[in-house]
Structure 1
């Protein structure tokens, strides 16, 4: 029977059914899109503060920028950077300070996580280990500048106990200046790794440890031969996150050493700041930031892939 032969009552019944089906489809579509609508403002905000500045820096790196004067120069900024000894020195300083700081932070965080995971007394004071991370980086830098440089508090204490005979010449010593930056970073950010490592230990299967304990293994043997290999991917990701953060170390360098002595503590972030906001060579500074971004991404990708491949094997 064709639609033209349907009685009027049939048409009247069909219309509410179609409306109900349409509403059901719209409600199902809304339920699917609703989570995306909730996170859309946050995603747009993150894109505005990360993607746009990055794209703008890449674009700016192909120009000779002097305030409002933009002169296209192609890849000249990048060519000059690769021939710039100060750029390579800043990369080397960032590598030295970053590797030493990361090694110390990883060691202390693993030790604290081991005792906080096992020792009941340390577990009760777990929250105290997080206090340094709550300070602003600039506040920590001023504290260490006062203790090591302006106030000479550490030098006075060492002289009183007879370990040294004169004040530490930190401003004129390359390794003492680097050690001050490393110590400030280790003190503040070891708790970050500590939180991650404790969570990784608590998430491991207790039956594996119990089996090893029944076989006569000590707590240290269990940690070294079982817990630590299982934590390898987590450790790699944590170190990559901290490594990326160390490459942007600026407050400590700016407040404590100003890049001295002789540029021995000038990290890549301070080098970019000096080019952009002291020399006003914004295109050159943008090219340096782009190169550092590429290096960071490549190194992070290699470390994470190697760690996860080792974890599977």
Structure 2
């Protein structure tokens, strides 16, 4: 008993003797391994990409400064890939948002929606490459979609989905919407279910209809959730590579070549890694700026409102 008391007293004395600096630094020491790991897989590749963007050469590297950036600014293929990314991304994101928000508004009050969430998330659990191969088979290789359209009564024959700009873009949009609409749906359902129920009850007592309740109360309260969801999906769309690489490979005539596929083609097919690094740095900076603008737009402080 005496030994236990002495040990407890010794621990308390040691704790009291610990300096304030050590007490404050202890939590940071616990977080240090994780921070170092994250910096290693994010910051170091970014620094290397910036350094590589200032060089040229396939095998023997030469320092060229900002030459790669100057060439990118007048490269039609790069700007075409940017346009394709924004066009396909905006169409895809708009469709996903409308479908996900509409479904979430219909089912978030129902108890069965909670039990069936895993079913809703099944498409996004598949690998993007597997989904891309599936839709390539359905649209182009297997002619399944064309056969279904013919059976419905529309005599369209064998549609060459990859030979037409509109059709090729349509395939990419359909594949992305099918896989990633559940991502937004789950976020929106959670956001709607997490809102204060007393505000809805007060609005119903005042005679507000379902549409007024949703558009005037629920939807404005969802602004932060919507902002986070759109930013996450927008960043993911900018880095969409598997669909373009497997389904279209940028055809026809570069009409479906996104910026991520442009970087891949430049780095691993043309072996111009400095040029590709410059393009990736530009895309990274633009993505950070756009994400910050969107988040500031939706996350205003009380003094800005």
TM-score (norm 1): 0.88
RMSD: 2.2
Shift of 1:256: 0.4
The runs of 5 or more residues in structure 2 that have no matched partner are 1-8
Whole-angstrom distance in 2 between the partners of 1:129 and 1:114: 15
Preserved contact between residue 117 and residue 186 of structure 2 (Cα < 8 Å): no
- Cα gap change, 1:249/1:19 in structure 2, threshold over 3 Å: closer, same or farther? closer
Whole-angstrom distance in 1 between the partners of 2:301 and 2:254: 38
1:110 maps to 101
State how many pairs are aligned. Answer: 296
Q: 1:62 aligns with which of 42, 54, 63?
A: 54
Shift of 1:29: 6.4
2:167 maps to 176
2:41 maps to 49
Q: 1:277 aligns with which of 268, 273, 281?
A: 268
Preserved contact between residue 116 and residue 126 of structure 1 (Cα < 8 Å): no
Say yes or no: does 1:213 pair with 2:204: yes
Output aligned runs, 1:1-313, within 5 Å.
21-26=13-18, 32-67=24-59, 69-309=60-300, 313=305
Whole-angstrom distance in 1 between the partners of 2:27 and 2:154: 62
Whole-angstrom distance in 2 between the partners of 1:27 and 1:182: 59
Deviations 1:267-295 (A, max 9, x none): 00000000000000000000000001111
Whole-angstrom distance in 2 between the partners of 1:109 and 1:251: 23
Whole-angstrom distance in 2 between the partners of 1:64 and 1:44: 30
Question: Helix, strand or coil: the match of 2:57?
Answer: strand
Preserved contact between residue 109 and residue 193 of structure 2 (Cα < 8 Å): no
Runs of 4+ in 1 over 4 A off after TM superposition: 17-23, 27-34
Whole-angstrom distance in 2 between the partners of 1:118 and 1:202: 7
Whole-angstrom distance in 1 between the partners of 2:301 and 2:146: 45
Name the stretch that deviates more: 202-211 or 36-45: 36-45
Preserved contact between residue 250 and residue 261 of structure 2 (Cα < 8 Å): yes
2:3 maps to none
Question: Helix, strand or coil: the match of 1:49?
Answer: helix
Name the stretch that deviates more: 280-289 or 105-114: 105-114
Preserved contact between residue 91 and residue 267 of structure 1 (Cα < 8 Å): yes
Preserved contact between residue 110 and residue 197 of structure 1 (Cα < 8 Å): yes
| Greater radius of gyration (CA) | 1
Preserved contact between residue 66 and residue 281 of structure 1 (Cα < 8 Å): yes
- Cα gap change, 1:187/1:30 in structure 2, threshold over 3 Å: closer, same or farther? farther
Question: Helix, strand or coil: the match of 1:243?
Answer: helix
Shift of 1:232: 1.2
Deviations 1:159-187 (A, max 9, x none): 11112421222111111111111111111
Shift of 1:116: 2.4
Name the stretch that deviates more: 28-37 or 113-122: 28-37
- Cα gap change, 1:310/1:118 in structure 2, threshold over 3 Å: closer, same or farther? farther
Whole-angstrom distance in 2 between the partners of 1:134 and 1:220: 33
